Amino acid sequence: MPKPVTQIRLGPHLACAAERMDQSDDQQEILFDRSGIGACINYLNSRTDQNLERLVFAEGNRLACRHHMWSSIGSRSTISDFWKKDLERIVWSGQLETSIGAAIAYLMSRRESQWLNEVMSYLPEGHVFKTTVYLIGGYDNVVYGEDVALNPGFKLFHADHREIVYYLIHELAHAGYFKYH
- pTM of the predicted model as reported, rounded to 2 decimal places: 0.86
135 φ/ψ angles, rounded to the nearest 5 degrees: -90, 120
Q: Poorest-confidence range of 7-11, 15-19, 29-33?
A: 7-11
Provide mean pLDDT across the span 75-90: 92
Task: Tell me if 140 sits within 8 A of 133, measured CB to CB.
Answer: no
Mean pLDDT of 1-20: 45
Q: How far apart are CA 30 and CA 10, in angstroms?
A: 24
CA atoms within 13 Å, Cβ hemisphere of 177: 12
What rounded mean pLDDT belongs to the chain?
87
Q: What is the pLDDT of residues 146-156, one digit of tens each?
A: 999 999 999 99
d(CA 150, CA 30) in angstroms, rounded, equals: 13
* 90 Cα distance to chain centroid: 16
Structure confidence at residue 178 as a pLDDT band (50, 70, 90) = confident
